[in-house]
Structure 1
Amino acid sequence: MNSDEARVKSPTNWSGRLLQFFLHQKFVLFLLILLLVGLNVYVFTKISYVFEPFKVLLTTVSLPIILAGVAYYLLNPIVDLLERFRIKRIYSILVLYLLIAGLVTFLIVAIVPFVRDQIISLSENFPKYYHEAQLLFQSWIGSDVFNEVQQSLGFNASELVQNITAKASSFFNDTFKGLGAFLGKITEFVLAFVIVPFILFYLLKDGKKLPNYITNFIPTGLRSRSYKVMADINGQISSYIRGQIIVSFCIGILLYIGYLIIGLEYSLVLAVIAACTSIVPYLGPAIAITPALIIALVTSPVMLLKMVVVWTVVQLVEGKFISPQIMGKSLKIHPITIIFVILTAGNLFGIVGIILAVPGYAVLKVVATHFFQWFKSRSGLYDT
């Protein structure tokens, strides 16, 4: 037996060829990578206590960073505009800070006392409004005409109302528990609001340098793709934040004008509630209309009709004119997908999850899209 035959029949040579065979099978290699990732995840779940300090750190800094990021996307276009007029960036930021300080002072002095009085009055009277609306609705259900309608349609409205009331009570109890925990960490929020202006200042000053700084830590071959991913993420988040806040502001203004025209009580507070909840797409307006419906129902049937007309007109104006012009179709997310994402994020992370559900999904969608494109180009599984 010569040396070549011995080398071919040797176990080491066969194992090397077998290894080369598996390594050249891209699908098998992909499965091995998934197996290693799953193994790492399993190991990390068993030693999760090691990451507890990082979890505390992330919890501490996440709120001021999120608030500063939202403010950055709102204010950065103004700073860029001032910079085009040959005003140095740092001076533009200082001028903007002075304007914001003046606006906040005006709001505190002129508007906050009025809003505070309406909020206190509404919080004191809302249980009475809710009780009166419940009695009124029960009287409608007990009427002869409604009983005939029930029998003809074959459903029991009393059981339906009881189920809806139980669900609503459970929802509001859970919400208020979450708000209680939310307000229980008041020290963290005060600290966050104190830190936000400092973080925002450096974001406005050096934010454009951040992508290049991050890509310096990425391998050279992946830098261009990584930069493209960050640019797409930045575009998605900026368009969503700016668009959604502008849309919410417009909804609040239109509802306030409409409520003033029809003479609805607590018009300013109800409009502010609608503007704040409209930040959450689709579900927010449904939540915001509830207190307005109750107050209008207790006031008079005519007021209820007027309120429904105002709300319908505002929603039509927002859906047909405001959102298409401001938001466009930048996110390219189906409404059903948005609802499912919001519900899932709310169950997992509470109020914070509901607020961050859509932009978080947009970021994950960008990352997943680019990863899939990279995998298609490298795997060879999609070659025709």
Structure 2
Amino acid sequence: MFHKRWFQVLISGILISLLIFLLHEIQFFFEPFLTYAGAIAFPLIGGAILFYISRPVMHFLEYYKIPRILAIIIVFLLFILLGFIIVQFIAPIAQQQFTRLVDNIPRMSDMIAETITYWQQNQDIIPDQFNDSLNSVVETLQNSLDAAPGIIIDVISQFVGFVFALVLIPFFLFFMLKDGDKLVPFLTQFMNNKVASSFKRLTKSLDHTLNSFIIGQLTVSVFVGLILLVGYLIIGLNYSLTLALFAMLMNVIPFVGPFLAVVPAILVALFQEPIMAVYVAIIMIVAQQLEGNLVSPNVMGKALNIHPLTIITVILAAGSLAGFLGLLFAIPAYAVIKTIISHLYHEWLEHKAASE
């Protein structure tokens, strides 16, 4: 019986369940490590994102015989130049539009309530139950819109704290660029040749997965944001820069992001001129078609190879568990886990074939 596959699977399941239970019971032991990991998580992730963005530039400079330290300094200068351009030319316009949008939220809330009230008073065929439900939705929406300025202020306050955490990112980025390629050789020196070879293949696969996702998503987001900005300016949509920047941020979230991005633009368009909401929808469809048929296939290719239904499921689960951060990091975390499992599975197949 000990050699039966079903019995081995049963014992493995019991041992895994027991391990999970024990880890849950002694989770207090891991709290200091989790606190430390949480403290460095943001600068580490931020540094890693900038690392994948700037590494091609550093390698390009090294190709022309520029020393690595000097290449890193040039990369930092390019980031500073980009930041100066954003602060000098983009941020003032976006801030002005954002302030006007926040100031208009109460008026927009009142207009929604008045429109629905007028519509209810001039119809006789809708059941009372539907009217009650509609009134409840209107009240909830109005309360949410009225509370929006306070929520936005809280978000801005959190953003200020977030900015302070940015100070550590340049330090992480510098050492990642300088010594990033030394990590794998350092770790493999403690492994035998077979394990070291497998570990190198795994890290190469993980590097390719993360690079494809980060560069791909940023390229897609910038492309969609620029297309939307041009489209919004052509139709004369109010707060066009702010709405395009919001869309650029939302498009970082795979699959769900584009749908979230268009909601505030359509709401603004409805208040400005109802027909303009149709124009906004058309612009979004055109941008998504261009992105889906031209940008994503050429930038990301099939590196992640994740089915859309899997993406939706993972995003919904991560969003309910971890909120916005879950939406943001769900797919790259899933892609990393999938890469590791796929690597281990192929290693097991090779080992099994060799043993036979």
What is the aligned partner in structure 1 of residue 80 from structure 2?
101
**Structure 1 residues 166 and 137: alpha-carbon distance in aligned structure 2, compared to 1, 3 A threshold:** closer
Structure 1 stretch 358-367 or stretch 122-131: which is displaced more? Answer: 122-131
The letter of the residue matching 2:205 is D
The letter of the residue matching 2:64 is F
What number of residue pairs does the alignment pair up?
352
Structure 1 stretch 298-307 or stretch 340-349: which is displaced more? Answer: 298-307
Q: Indicate conservation of the 8 Å contact 1:133/1:297, yes or no.
A: no
The whole-number CA distance in structure 1 between the counterparts of 2:119 and 2:193 is 71
The whole-number CA distance in structure 2 between the counterparts of 1:143 and 1:329 is 54
What is the aligned partner in structure 2 of residue 66 from structure 1?
45
What is the aligned partner in structure 2 of residue 279 from structure 1?
252
Within 5 Å, give how 1:55-204 maps onto structure 2: 55-136=34-115, 139=118, 158=131, 161=134, 180=154, 183-184=157-158, 186-187=160-161, 189-204=162-177
**Structure 1 residues 306 and 142: alpha-carbon distance in aligned structure 2, compared to 1, 3 A threshold:** farther
What is the aligned partner in structure 1 of residue 275 from structure 2?
302
Q: Quote the offset at 1:213 in angstroms.
A: 2.1
Within 5 Å, give how 1:176-325 maps onto structure 2: 180=154, 183-184=157-158, 186-187=160-161, 189-325=162-298
Q: Percent identity?
A: 31
Q: Quote the offset at 1:171 in angstroms.
A: 9.4
What is the TM-score of this pair, normalised by structure 1?
0.81
Q: Quote the offset at 1:320 in angstroms.
A: 2.0
The whole-number CA distance in structure 2 between the counterparts of 1:212 and 1:165 is 61
Q: Indicate conservation of the 8 Å contact 2:94/2:241, yes or no.
A: yes
Q: Quote the offset at 1:164 in angstroms.
A: 6.1
**Structure 1 residues 364 and 39: alpha-carbon distance in aligned structure 2, compared to 1, 3 A threshold:** same
2:335 is the alignment partner of 1:362: yes
The whole-number CA distance in structure 1 between the counterparts of 2:177 and 2:214 is 16
Q: Indicate conservation of the 8 Å contact 1:278/1:285, yes or no.
A: yes
Within 5 Å, give how 1:30-45 maps onto structure 2: 32-45=11-24
Q: Quote the offset at 1:125 in angstroms.
A: 0.9
CA RMSD of aligned residues (A): 3.2
The whole-number CA distance in structure 1 between the counterparts of 2:190 and 2:21 is 27
**Structure 1 residues 86 and 126: alpha-carbon distance in aligned structure 2, compared to 1, 3 A threshold:** same
Q: Indicate conservation of the 8 Å contact 1:141/1:157, yes or no.
A: no
Q: Indicate conservation of the 8 Å contact 1:239/1:330, yes or no.
A: yes
What is the aligned partner in structure 2 of residue 6 from structure 1?
none
**Structure 1 residues 366 and 360: alpha-carbon distance in aligned structure 2, compared to 1, 3 A threshold:** same
The whole-number CA distance in structure 2 between the counterparts of 1:227 and 1:178 is 46
The whole-number CA distance in structure 2 between the counterparts of 1:194 and 1:57 is 17
The whole-number CA distance in structure 2 between the counterparts of 1:367 and 1:170 is 46
Q: Quote the offset at 1:68 in angstroms.
A: 0.3
Q: Deviation digits for residues 145-173 of structure 1, max 9, x if unmatched? A: xx77x79xxx9764675676688789999
Q: Structure 1 regions of 5+ residues with no counterpart?
A: 1-20
Q: Structure 2 regions of 5+ residues with no counterpart?
A: none
Q: Deviation digits for residues 281-340 of structure 1, max 9, x if unmatched? A: 121121121111111111122222222222222222222222222222221111111011
What is the aligned partner in structure 2 of residue 11 from structure 1?
none
The whole-number CA distance in structure 2 between the counterparts of 1:185 and 1:265 is 25
Q: Deviation digits for residues 209-263 of structure 1, max 9, x if unmatched? A: 2222233344543222222111111111110100100110011111111011000
The letter of the residue matching 1:367 is I
Q: Indicate conservation of the 8 Å contact 2:232/2:280, yes or no.
A: yes
What is the TM-score of this pair, normalised by structure 2?
0.87
Q: Quote the offset at 1:37 in angstroms.
A: 3.9
The whole-number CA distance in structure 2 between the counterparts of 1:322 and 1:142 is 49
**Structure 1 residues 308 and 99: alpha-carbon distance in aligned structure 2, compared to 1, 3 A threshold:** same
Structure 1 stretch 294-303 or stretch 49-58: which is displaced more? Answer: 294-303
Q: Indicate conservation of the 8 Å contact 2:113/2:138, yes or no.
A: no
**Structure 1 residues 290 and 251: alpha-carbon distance in aligned structure 2, compared to 1, 3 A threshold:** same
The letter of the residue matching 2:170 is P
The whole-number CA distance in structure 2 between the counterparts of 1:39 and 1:181 is 41
Determine helix, strand or coil for the equivalent of 2:252: coil
